[in-house]
């Protein structure tokens, strides 16, 4: 698929088709602007016929808008896989939250994305398509865009699809393309330790976000199966390495589940394990997932716990919940495959 290609790879592809070199840039820009093939006016019909099979194809099967201006889209790819992505409006601009896999195999007990397991990885171009869909809606040109940030926080674990995700990071941040700086990209993982080292060693500098959700291994194992593979201590060591290499402050996500991980003792333990690190904690009152019996704490309770963390010297905020009414909030995106 053309969206999987860098400008250089696309130039090679065009050369192999025996077409003039300038077509590569024309095609690259048309794709990035999210145009359908029949909307591109500067390409001849004979050329379009040659590339038709490789041109990005997806169908918009749902496009929902929330009261708070959050938007959610469900895109269907030719194999019937459906992925969900979200557009969030902030004061400084727009953020797109993309999915990196169709479903997820991490099995976290509170998350809707993992309910039906993993169907497949998304390619770099399929992840990029989600960004381009919203960029197109916002009527942006390549040089002037309202879309400022990307978060890899939808369905799937980005580090479980390392090669495609890192290729996507290169494509979305490349100067010829959308040119979104890696500083404005957040990658969230449940903590696949060896891949955190690899991300740092490969020279990436995105903001690393760790879904911690517990301050000791015993509790973490109860709610996140990945905790059986990697201890919190190992995750924090990998984070220290990432910080040393990139100088980027690490963010920790902590979704507050009523009666499970929300006691003052849990929060004091969280402060003690993070003490001395350059990091920030996002507290998220758990969002409801209808298949799960777990419930979130009140926002009031979350603010009390954030203040407690601050008092203990850890920078903390309570994440605004956005798009809950369209099931577009954290943990509400789903693995959907078209029934044939």
Residues within the interface to ligand SAH (CB under 6 A): 106, 108, 110-111, 153, 157, 188-190, 211, 253, 255, 284, 286-287, 289, 330-331
Catalytic residue among 19, 31, 84, 108: 84
The CB-nearest residue to ligand SAH is: 331
User: Please, which residue, 82 or 257, has the CB nearer to ligand SAH?
Assistant: 257
User: Please, which residue, 165 or 200, has the CB nearer to ligand SAH?
Assistant: 165
Catalytic residue among 97, 108, 111, 330: 330
User: Please, which residue, 19 or 157, has the CB nearer to ligand SAH?
Assistant: 157
Q: At what angle do helices 299-311 and 264-274 cross, to 10 degrees?
A: 40
84 is a catalytic site residue: yes
279 is a catalytic site residue: no
Q: Are 84 and 113 in contact (CB under 8 A)?
A: no
User: Please, which residue, 11 or 246, has the CB nearer to ligand SAH?
Assistant: 246
Let me know the angle formed at the C-alpha of 334 by 306 and 115, rounded to the nearest 5 degrees: 90
Token digits of residue 252: 């920790």
Residue 89 bridge partners (DSSP)? 94
Distance between CA atoms of 270 and 261, rounded to whole angstroms? Answer: 10
Q: What is the DSSP string of 97-144?
A: E---EEE-SS--TT-GGGTT-EEEEPPHHHHHHHHHHHHHHTT--SSS
CA-to-CA dists, residue 136 to 144, 171, 172, 204, angstroms: 12, 17, 15, 27
Q: Are 279 and 312 in contact (CB under 8 A)?
A: no
Positions marked catalytic: 84, 330
């Amino acid at each position: 698929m053309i969206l999987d290609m860098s400008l250089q790879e696309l130039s090679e592809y065009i050369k192999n088709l025996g077409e003039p070199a300038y077509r590569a840039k024309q095609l690259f820009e048309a794709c990035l602007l999210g145009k359908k093939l029949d909307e591109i006016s500067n390409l001849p019909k004979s050329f379009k016929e040659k590339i038709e099979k490789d041109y990005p194809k997806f169908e918009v099967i749902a496009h929902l808008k929330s009261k708070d201006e959050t938007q959610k889209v469900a895109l269907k790819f030719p194999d019937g896989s459906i992925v969900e992505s979200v557009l969030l409006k902030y004061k400084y601009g727009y953020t797109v939250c993309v999915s990196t896999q169709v479903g997820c195999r991490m099995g976290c007990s509170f998350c809707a994305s993992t309910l039906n397991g993993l169907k497949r990885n998304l390619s770099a171009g399929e992840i990029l398509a989600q960004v381009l869909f919203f960029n197109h809606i916002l009527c942006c040109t390549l040089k002037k865009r309202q879309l400022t940030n990307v978060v890899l926080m939808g369905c799937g674990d980005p580090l479980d699809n390392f090669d495609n995700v890192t290729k996507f990071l290169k494509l979305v941040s490349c100067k010829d393309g959308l040119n979104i700086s890696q500083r404005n990209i957040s990658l969230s993982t449940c903590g696949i330790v060896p891949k955190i080292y690899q991300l740092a060693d490969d020279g990436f500098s995105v903001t690393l976000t760790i879904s911690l959700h517990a301050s000791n291994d015993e509790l973490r194992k109860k709610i996140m199966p990945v905790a059986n593979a990697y201890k919190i201590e190992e995750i924090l060591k990998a984070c220290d390495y990432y910080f040393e290499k990139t100088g980027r402050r690490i963010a920790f996500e902590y979704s507050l589940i009523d009666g499970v991980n929300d006691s003052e003792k849990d929060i004091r333990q969280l402060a003690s394990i993070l003490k001395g690190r350059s990091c920030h904690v996002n507290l998220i009152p758990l969002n409801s997932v209808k298949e799960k019996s777990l419930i979130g704490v009140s926002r009031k309770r979350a603010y009390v716990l954030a203040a407690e963390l601050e008092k203990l010297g850890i920078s903390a905020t309570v994440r605004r919940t956005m798009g809950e009414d369209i099931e577009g909030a954290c943990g509400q995106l789903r693995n959907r495959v078209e029934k044939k």
